A = this chain, B = another copy of it.
Amino acid sequence: MKKTPVNEQERRQQIMNAFIVHVVEKGFHKASMADIAKTAELSVGQIYRYFAHKEDIIRAVVEQKTEEYLLMMEEFLEKKGWLARMFEPEHEQEFHTERILNMEIKAEANRSAALAKIQYDADHRLTEHAVKLVRQRYALDDETDIRARVQFLVALTDGLFHRRGFFAGPFDAASHQLFQHMLNQLFPDN
């Protein structure tokens, strides 16, 4: 028996999930409020009670994803094991969906100032958090140097994330070894 959502947060989550399904399947522009409502098993009127525009749904989705990325970033900066996780077969479907969603939002952000701002704020929050963690965790003290290292890490991660589809299967031993070496150069332990 299907659980009926009881509170506002659950309703909002239901709408966000339906939005993701349609953006991934058809692209940002073709994901209509009517489609989203149908998948969320709500009326369009009900959706507007929670989100006034599609943009507000995106904002909520981006903010939620940013919280997830912050946790992954913490985990990574602690153990440097994050990148390899992207290549574990059990995470393939999850990353596939994330990748499409991410690209759709970024592509649309090129044409919407409001969306660019949402994206920029999320990125800023992520990099500032990483800068703080690196400062605490590693033997680095020059502020501009720390920022350069964080930008390097974020660019590399973004690139790997988007290119995941081009890699055939999990990381091989040579890749593991190389990435570990490069990451040790980037974030030297005490």
A residues lining the B interface (CB < 8 Å):
24-27, 29-30, 99-100, 103-104, 106-108, 110-111, 116, 120, 123, 142, 144-145, 147-149, 151-152, 154-160, 162-163, 165-167, 172-175, 177-179, 181-182, 185-186
Q: In whole angstroms, how far apart are the Cα atoms of A152 and B100 in the complex?
A: 21
The interface residues of chain B lying within 8 Å CB-to-CB of A159 are 154-160, 162
Interface pair B145/A174, CB less than 8 Å apart? yes
- Known A29-B29, A107-B104; judge A147-B162 contact (CB<8 A): no
The interface residues of chain B lying within 8 Å CB-to-CB of A177 are 145, 148
Q: In whole angstroms, how far apart are the Cα atoms of A166 and B127 in the complex?
A: 11
Interface pair A162/B158, CB less than 8 Å apart? yes
- Known A27-B29, A120-B166; judge A152-B179 contact (CB<8 A): yes
The 7 closest A-B pairs by CB, nearest first: A159-B159, A155-B159, A158-B159, A144-B174, A148-B175, A103-B107, A148-B178
Contact of A167 among B149, B151, B181 (CB under 8 A): B151
Contact of A111 among B27, B99, B166, B179 (CB under 8 A): B27
Q: In whole angstroms, how far apart are the Cα atoms of A167 and B124 in the complex?
A: 11
- Known A29-B30, A155-B160, A182-B152; judge A100-B104 contact (CB<8 A): no
A142: nearest residue on chain B (CB-CB)? B174
Minimum C-beta distance from A55 to chain B (A):
16
A145: nearest residue on chain B (CB-CB)? B174
A161: nearest residue on chain B (CB-CB)? B159
Q: In whole angstroms, how far apart are the Cα atoms of A110 and B151 in the complex?
A: 27
